[in-house]
Chains A and B, each alone.
Chain A
Amino acid sequence: MALADMQDHAAVTAGSRELLVFALGREEYGIDILKVQEIRGYDAVTRIAGAPDFIKGVVNLRGHIVPIVDLRLKFALGDVEYNAFTVVIILNIFERTVGVVVDGVSDVIQLADDAIRPAPELGATVDTTYILGLGTLAERMVIVVDIEKLMGCDEMALIDASVAA
C-alpha cells in the first residue's frame, strides 16, 4: 500500500515513470520498475499438472514456492527456447511473488507521461485492457503494460477465484 502511494507520488511529481524494458520476440515492453523484485536466470522448474502451458511450473526462490509464467507462450510469440540467456523477472504483485520468463531485459528508462500515447484500437485481435499506452523513446517503441492487471486476469489462472473446484 505504502509502496503504491509512493509510486503514484513519484510519478506525479516527476511527470514521468521509470520502466524496466524487456523484450518479447521483437517487441519491447515496459513495466513499472517498482513491481520488480529481482532478475535471475532460468532454472529448472517443477511442472504443475493441469496448469495451462504458459505456466511453466514452480521454482524454489529462497524457500518460497514461486510460479513461473512464460510470457512468450502467453503471447504466442513462436519459437521459445530456454538457454543460459533466458531471463526471469521476479515480480512482486498483490503481495505475491511471480516469475516471468522473457527473451531479455534491455534497460531501465525514464518515460515522461506525455511521451506515452494511448494504445490504438487494434480490434478483436489484441486484448488491450492491460496496455497502458505506447511509449516512444528515440527510435524505439515501448509497449507500457499494467503488469498487475495482466497477471491478475482470469486467463492467467495464477490466482484462485473461478478455479476453486
Chain B
Amino acid sequence: MSQFHQVFFDEAEEHLAAMESLLLAVDLAAPDAEDLNAIFRAAHSIKGGAATFGFGDLADFTHVMENLLDRVRHGRLVLTSAMVDVCLESKDALKTLLMAHRGGEPADAAWVAGLQRRLAEQCDAKGSAAANEAGVVPAVGSAKLADPATGEDAPQGGEKLLAETVHTLYVEIDTAAGVDMGELLAKLGQHGAVSVARQGESAEMPWVLVFTSDLSEDEVAETLAFAVAPGLFRVLGGRVDEAGGFGLFVDGAPAEVDRDAVAAKPGIWFEEDGFGLFEPLPATLAEPSAEAAQAYEEDGFGLFAAAEPGVTVPESSPSALPATQAAVPRAERSGAGGAAVENSLRVSTEKVDTLLNLVGELVITQSMLQQYGSELDPVLHERLLDGIGQLERNSRELQEAVMSIRMTPITSVFNRFPRLVRDLAGKLDKQIELKMVGEHTELDKGFVEKLSDPLTHLVRNSLDHGIESPDVRRAKGKSPVGRLTLRAFHQGGSIVIEVNDDGAGLDRERILAKARERGMAVSDSISDAEVWNLIFEAGFSTAAEVTDVSGRGVGMDVVRKNIHAMGGRIEIDSLPDYGTTMRIRLPLTLAILDGMSVRVGDEVYVMPLGFVLESLQPAPDEVRSVAGRGRVVNMRGDFVPIVSLSAFFGGIAGARAEPHAGILIIVESEGIRAALLVDDLVGQQQFVVKNLETHYRKVTGLSGATILGDGQVALILDVAAIVRSGLREGGAGVPVPLELESN
C-alpha cells in the first residue's frame, strides 16, 4: 500500500504546484475557462485520491475547495481576489496536511478549520449575489433548461452551460458487480443533469444513463472511475449505437425518473431541453460571429436549423448537440491536456549516474581504440578504421544524450517565485511585477535544489532593500510598480541566472560606512565592484532595521558560499536609482567539468577552469620573497602570493621548485588571488567528474577525480581549499619547508 501512497503524494504535490501557478496566473477580470477547469480538476484529483487512500481530512478539505472552484468555473460565482487568496492559502494548508501524512509535523487544526470555513463562506456569500446578478442578465430563452438538481442556480448556470460547452453523454454501467446506483446517481447529479434511460437488470442489460453537464467524456469517465471499476462502464459521446436506446428513452422516460437526481419531470425536461438549447444558439452564435457563421453554415447551422423544427424527433437533439458544439472545445481540451501531461518517466538519479558512468567508460574505451587504430596501416585496415570513426561519433552522441537526461528546465527553481513575490509584496506594501525570462533554460538536476535557497535570498533582498515603496518611486519619477526580473540563459559553457530589479540600487556610501564601522580597512577610492563585494562579507547587513524578510546579515555570505560550492560565481551590477542586477554564473553541469590539466612533477592534476584567470611564466626578478618566507609574483604591479602545488601536497617527485622554471597559474577564489606553481600546462578539455569519496575518503585540496583519455586517473584540485589553506599556512612557501612557514 505504501508505494501507492507515495504515488499519491507525488501526484498530489504536482497537482498543488499546478494549482498554485494557475491561481497566480489567473486574470481576475477575464478568467480563462480552461484555467479554471484545470484548477478545479487539480482539486478534484486530490480529493479523489485522498478519499481512495482514506485521508479523510484531505478529502474533506478539498471537497469544500472543490465546491467553490466548481461554482466559479461554472460562472455561478465571480472570481474575486479574496477567493484567489483563500485558495492559495488553502493550497498551503493542503500541502501541510499532505506533509503530515508523510510523517511531517501535524497541521494546525484551527488554521485548517478556519480556512475551510472561509472557503465555505466564499462559496455561500457570493452564491446568492450571483443568483441575483443572473436575474438581471437576460436569460436568453434558456430558462427552460432548469437544472433539476440545483434549481435555484439554474437560469445562470444554464446560460453558462450554453456559453461554454454542454456534453450530453450516454453512460452504460454494468451493475452486475453490485454498484450502488442510488449513490452513483446522486454523485453524478452534483455535476450535471442525470436521467435514467434504462434500468439495468443483468450483465446483458446494463444501465443506461443520460448525463448532461459541461464535463467531457474523459472527465465523466474519471469521476465514475472512483465508484465503478473501469471495465464495468462505458461513456459514449452523443450517439448510442443501438437505435433502441432512444426509443426506450422516449417511451420510458416518465416512468424511469430517478428520484434523487432528477426531481422534475425528466421526460418533459429533456424534450424541452431541445428548445432551450437550440433556440438561443442562433442568437448567441450569430451575433459575435456573423462571418464565421457563414463558414459553419453547412455543419453547424445546417444542423441547428434542421433540429429546431425537429423537436418532435428527440433523437436528433441530443446527438446533434455534442456533435457540433462539443466537438471543438473537446479537441482543444485534449490538446491542452497533452501539453500539460508530459510524456515522461520518473527515474532515480542513481540510475542516470550509472548510465553516465558506463557511457564515460565507453568513451574511454573508444579513445583507446582510436589511439591504437591510429598506429595501423590505413590501407590494410580501412574498414576497421572506418568502424572506429563511426564508434567515435556514436559514443559522443550517446554521451550527449545521457548528459541531457540530467538536465531539467530552470522552471522548477523559478516557479516558486511568483508566490513568494506576491506574498512578500503584500507584506511589504509594495507593488511588484515579476517577470521571468528563459525559464526553459536547462541546467543540471543537481543544481536545482541547491539553487533555490540562494535565489530566494536574492529575490527577498531585492524586494526588501532594492525596490522602493510606491510613494518613494513616484517621487523619483518611476512607475509605482517595481519590476523584478528573473532571467536565465546560457553563455559559453555556463548558465547565467540574473535577479534584476529597478529599485534604488546599492548605496555605496552606506556600505563603506558600514565597512568602516565593522573595522574593515577600506578606502574611498576602491572601485564599485569591490564595494559591492563587501556585502558578501559575513555579518554584513546595511538594512536600517531587521525585518522578518531580511536584514539579519546572514544572507549574502551564505549565498556566495553556496554558489561557490556549486563551482559558480556571483557578480553584482548596480546603479543608484536605476537598479541592481545580481548575476549567478554556474557551470552547465556538475558531472562534467571544464578543466585545465597541469603537470606537477610526474603527476597530472586537473584544475577547474572557472577559477583560472591567466597563466604566466615569470622572469626571475618578478618573484620576490616577503619576510624571507612567502613569495609573491609581481603581476603588472599587483603582488600575488605564490602557492607551490608540490609543497602543498607535501612534495611531489620531480616538481620544479623555482617559480621562473615552471608556470604560474593565477587563480581567484572568494575574492582572493593566488598564483599556483605547476611545471607545465598539458591541455584544456572537459572531464567527467568522479567522486573520490565513494571508495576512498575526502582529501584536502582535492575535489574529485577524473579519468583521462588513456584510462589513467587524474585528481581534480580543490582550488578554493588550496588558496585558503595555502595562504593561511604562512602563505606561499615555495622552496621553504613547511615547518618554517607555520610558526
Give complex CA distance A88, B642 in Å. 40
Contact pattern, A 7-40, Cβ under 8 Å of B = 1, otherwise 0: 0000000000000000000000000000000000
Pairwise interchain contact B712-A49, C-beta atoms closer than 8 A? no
Answer whether residue A160 sits at the interface, using C-beta atoms and an 8 A cutoff.
yes
Answer whether residue A65 sits at the interface, using C-beta atoms and an 8 A cutoff.
yes
**B702 contact set on A, CB distance < 8 A:** 48-49
Pairwise interchain contact A50-B712, C-beta atoms closer than 8 A? no
Pairwise interchain contact A63-B715, C-beta atoms closer than 8 A? no
Question: Whose C-beta in chain A lies nearest to the C-beta of B359?
Answer: A63
Pairwise interchain contact B695-A66, C-beta atoms closer than 8 A? yes
**B695 contact set on A, CB distance < 8 A:** 64-67, 96-98
Partner-binding segment picked from B2-10, B609-617, B686-694: B686-694
A residues within 8 Å of B by Cβ? 44-51, 57-60, 62-67, 96-98, 157-160, 163-165
Q: A44-B712, A58-B713, A60-B713 are in contact. Are A163 and B697 (CB under 8 A)?
A: yes
Pairwise interchain contact B713-A59, C-beta atoms closer than 8 A? yes
**A50 contact set on B, CB distance < 8 A:** 649-650, 699-701
**A58 contact set on B, CB distance < 8 A:** 692, 696, 705, 713, 715
**In angstroms, how far is the closest chain B Cβ from the Cβ of A56?**
12
**In angstroms, how far is the closest chain B Cβ from the Cβ of A7?**
21
Question: Whose C-beta in chain B lies nearest to the C-beta of A59?
Answer: B713
Q: Residue B707 contacts which of A47, A63, A160 (CB distance < 8 angstroms)?
A: A63
Q: A47-B603, A49-B650, A60-B711 are in contact. Are A65 and B692 (CB under 8 A)?
A: yes
Give complex CA distance A51, B715 in Å. 13
Pairwise interchain contact B603-A46, C-beta atoms closer than 8 A? yes
Chain B's interface size range is: 20 to 34
Q: A46-B712, A49-B649, A49-B650 are in contact. Are A62 and B698 (CB under 8 A)?
A: no
Question: Whose C-beta in chain B lies nearest to the C-beta of A66?
Answer: B695
Give complex CA distance A48, B696 in Å. 11
Give complex CA distance A44, B712 in Å. 8
Answer whether residue B358 sits at the interface, using C-beta atoms and an 8 A cutoff.
yes
**In angstroms, how far is the closest chain B Cβ from the Cβ of A87?**
19
Pairwise interchain contact A160-B705, C-beta atoms closer than 8 A? no
**In angstroms, how far is the closest chain A Cβ from the Cβ of B61?**
42
Pairwise interchain contact B690-A65, C-beta atoms closer than 8 A? yes
Give complex CA distance A121, B217 in Å. 83
Q: Residue B699 contacts which of A51, A62, A64 (CB distance < 8 angstroms)?
A: A51
Number of contacts between A and B (CB, 8 Å)?
77
B residues 671-723 near A (Cβ < 8 Å) are: 690-702, 705, 707, 711-715
Pairwise interchain contact B696-A65, C-beta atoms closer than 8 A? yes
**In angstroms, how far is the closest chain A Cβ from the Cβ of B211?**
54
Pairwise interchain contact B698-A160, C-beta atoms closer than 8 A? yes
Q: Residue A48 contacts which of B691, B694, B699, B712 (CB distance < 8 angstroms)?
A: B699
Closest 6 CB pairs between A and B? A49-B649, A160-B697, A46-B713, A63-B357, A67-B696, A63-B361
Q: Which of A45, A46, A96, A157 has the most CB of B within 10 A?
A: A46
B residues within 8 Å of A by Cβ? 357-358, 360-361, 364, 603, 648-650, 652, 690-702, 705, 707, 711-715
Pairwise interchain contact A65-B699, C-beta atoms closer than 8 A? no
25 example contacts (A-B, Cβ-Cβ < 8 A) are as follows A46-B603, A46-B705, A46-B715, A48-B715, A49-B650, A49-B699, A51-B699, A57-B713, A58-B692, A58-B713, A60-B707, A60-B712, A62-B361, A64-B690, A64-B694, A65-B690, A65-B692, A65-B695, A67-B696, A157-B697, A158-B696, A159-B697, A163-B697, A164-B698, A165-B700
Give complex CA distance A62, B649 in Å. 27
Pairwise interchain contact B713-A160, C-beta atoms closer than 8 A? no
Q: Residue B701 contacts which of A46, A49, A59 (CB distance < 8 angstroms)?
A: A49
**A63 contact set on B, CB distance < 8 A:** 357-358, 360-361, 690, 707
Give complex CA distance A45, B652 in Å. 15
**A66 contact set on B, CB distance < 8 A:** 695-696
**A49 contact set on B, CB distance < 8 A:** 648-650, 652, 699, 701-702
**B713 contact set on A, CB distance < 8 A:** 45-46, 57-60, 65
Question: Whose C-beta in chain B lies nearest to the C-beta of A50?
Answer: B650
Question: Whose C-beta in chain B lies nearest to the C-beta of A165?
Answer: B700
Question: Whose C-beta in chain B lies nearest to the C-beta of A157?
Answer: B697
Give complex CA distance A134, B317 in Å. 96
Give complex CA distance A45, B698 in Å. 18
Question: Whose C-beta in chain A lies nearest to the C-beta of B700?
Answer: A50
**B712 contact set on A, CB distance < 8 A:** 44, 46, 60
A49-B701, A65-B694 given; name 6 further pairs at CB < 8 Å: A46-B715, A65-B690, A65-B705, A158-B697, A160-B693, A163-B697
Give complex CA distance A164, B697 in Å. 9
Give complex CA distance A159, B692 in Å. 11
Give complex CA distance A60, B687 in Å. 14
Give complex CA distance A115, B697 in Å. 38
**B700 contact set on A, CB distance < 8 A:** 50, 165
**A97 contact set on B, CB distance < 8 A:** 695
Give complex CA distance A118, B114 in Å. 72
Pairwise interchain contact A96-B694, C-beta atoms closer than 8 A? yes
Question: Whose C-beta in chain A lies nearest to the C-beta of B715?
Answer: A46
**In angstroms, how far is the closest chain A Cβ from the Cβ of B367?**
13
Pairwise interchain contact A65-B691, C-beta atoms closer than 8 A? yes
**In angstroms, how far is the closest chain B Cβ from the Cβ of A110?**
30
**B603 contact set on A, CB distance < 8 A:** 46-47
**In angstroms, how far is the closest chain A Cβ from the Cβ of B357?**
4
**A163 contact set on B, CB distance < 8 A:** 697-698
Give complex CA distance A65, B357 in Å. 11
Give complex CA distance A49, B715 in Å. 10
**B692 contact set on A, CB distance < 8 A:** 58, 65
**B361 contact set on A, CB distance < 8 A:** 62-63
Give complex CA distance A44, B650 in Å. 21
Give complex CA distance A55, B526 in Å. 49
**In angstroms, how far is the closest chain A Cβ from the Cβ of B690?**
5
**In angstroms, how far is the closest chain B Cβ from the Cβ of A163?**
6
**B364 contact set on A, CB distance < 8 A:** 60
**In angstroms, how far is the closest chain B Cβ from the Cβ of A153?**
14
Give complex CA distance A82, B538 in Å. 52
Give complex CA distance A66, B693 in Å. 10
Q: Which of B648, B652, B700 has the most CB of A within 10 A?
A: B700
Pairwise interchain contact B714-A46, C-beta atoms closer than 8 A? yes
**In angstroms, how far is the closest chain A Cβ from the Cβ of B717?**
10
Give complex CA distance A97, B705 in Å. 16
**B652 contact set on A, CB distance < 8 A:** 49
Question: Whose C-beta in chain A lies nearest to the C-beta of B693?
Answer: A160
Q: Which of A44, A47, A65, A165 has the most CB of B within 10 A?
A: A65
